[in-house]
């Protein structure tokens, strides 16, 4: 299975659920999208379909798993095969206390041998390629030597693709939010990793906010993963297909993106407990920096959770935004 990872949107807890991914897919046809992290426990002992189902329109889509037991990860991959994800990714970068207590996420950077065992087991059962998302290091680890050792060890187990968040994770003393902002970005270490391991596919992540920055990074690495900016300002993806995938098809306007979401929202409302807020919360940033953006956000925020709210709420919010999609407000 060949996955083009040139541009991707990072897995983000509480953000990149199936509704957000369907929405982002209306903006870019080619960007690789990731699920939120799903733990092996949730798959092995929870409602599998609730955690793994998605809309076929989301392809290419990757599943991110959280876990540290090779057997559990292998079983989770086996179950995930039924859902035909384009990639299975192992989380070795999340620093939250909940993840640490489960002995997975960023704390796995300290035990590359365990990660190697996990990856080997995952590859043995997964129909999709297995990748790893990690930090450049944790706590007091030496910067590059520990990253190199981790990469070497895991690559020997069969992993060919590493997505590297170019910040250290501090497991004690910093909150997950602070871990996304406080440790300095060291892009040069990720570049060095690619230089030293040219046979591996190396993607870079962390603090990337523009497509111009993305283009600069692609001079040094194989792919760029965009995180919070793609959520808060999703229309940043509108020029990705043309710029990075050679697709000259005209990008949809913001208004067209909203119109494309209406049938999807109507289908979601037919589900038990389905509300438009489940979907529209991901759409609030669509008109970022555009005339009417505040009115759009306010109307959806105030009305999406009313009992019986339907697509008429979205249409009304859209009517507050002039159809001047290329006219960006000056700062």
Residues serving a catalytic function are 94
- CA dist 53 and 182 (Å) reads 35
Strand, coil or helix: 319: helix
Largest distance between two CA atoms of the chain: 57
- CA dist 331 and 319 (Å) reads 24
Q: Which of 137, 131, 140 is nearest to 190 (CA)?
A: 137
Q: How many CB atoms lie within 10 A of CB 178?
A: 12
Tokens at residue 23, please? 């929405």
Q: Which of 226, 231, 232 is nearest to 210 (CA)?
A: 226
Full 3-state SS string of 196-213 = HCCCCEEEEECCCCCHHH
């Amino acid at each position: 299975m060949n996955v083009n990872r040139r541009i991707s949107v990072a897995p983000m807890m509480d953000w990149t659920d199936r509704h957000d991914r369907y929405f982002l897919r209306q903006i870019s046809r080619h960007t690789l999208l990731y699920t939120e992290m799903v733990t092996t426990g949730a798959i092995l002992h929870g409602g599998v379909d609730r955690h793994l189902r998605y809309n076929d329109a989301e392809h290419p889509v990757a599943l991110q798993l959280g876990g540290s037991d090779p057997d559990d990860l292998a079983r989770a991959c086996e179950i995930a095969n039924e859902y035909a994800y384009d990639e299975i990714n192992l989380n070795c970068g999340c620093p939250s206390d909940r993840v640490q207590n489960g002995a997975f996420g960023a704390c796995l950077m300290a035990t590359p041998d365990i990660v190697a065992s996990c990856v080997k087991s995952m590859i043995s059962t997964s129909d999709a390629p297995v990748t790893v998302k990690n930090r450049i290091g944790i706590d007091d680890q030496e910067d590059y030597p520990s990253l190199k050792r981790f990469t070497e060890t895991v690559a020997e187990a069969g992993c060919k693709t590493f997505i590297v968040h170019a910040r250290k994770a501090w497991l004690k003393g910093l909150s997950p939010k602070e871990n996304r902002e406080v440790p300095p970005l060291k892009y040069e270490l990720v570049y060095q990793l690619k230089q030293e391991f040219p046979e591996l596919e190396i993607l870079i992540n962390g603090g990337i906010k523009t497509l111009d920055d993305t283009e600069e990074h692609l001079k040094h690495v194989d792919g760029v993963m965009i995180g919070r900016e793609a959520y808060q300002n999703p229309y940043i993806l509108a020029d990705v297909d043309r710029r990075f995938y050679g697709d000259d098809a005209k990008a949809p306007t913001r208004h067209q993106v909203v119109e494309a979401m209406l049938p999807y929202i109507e289908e979601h409302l037919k589900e038990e407990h389905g509300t438009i807020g489940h979907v529209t919360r991901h759409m609030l940033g669509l008109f970022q920096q555009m005339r009417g953006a505040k009115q759009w956000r306010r109307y959806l925020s105030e009305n999406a959770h009313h009992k019986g709210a339907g697509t008429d709420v979205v249409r009304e919010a859209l009517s507050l935004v002039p159809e001047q999609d290329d006219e960006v407000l000056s700062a």
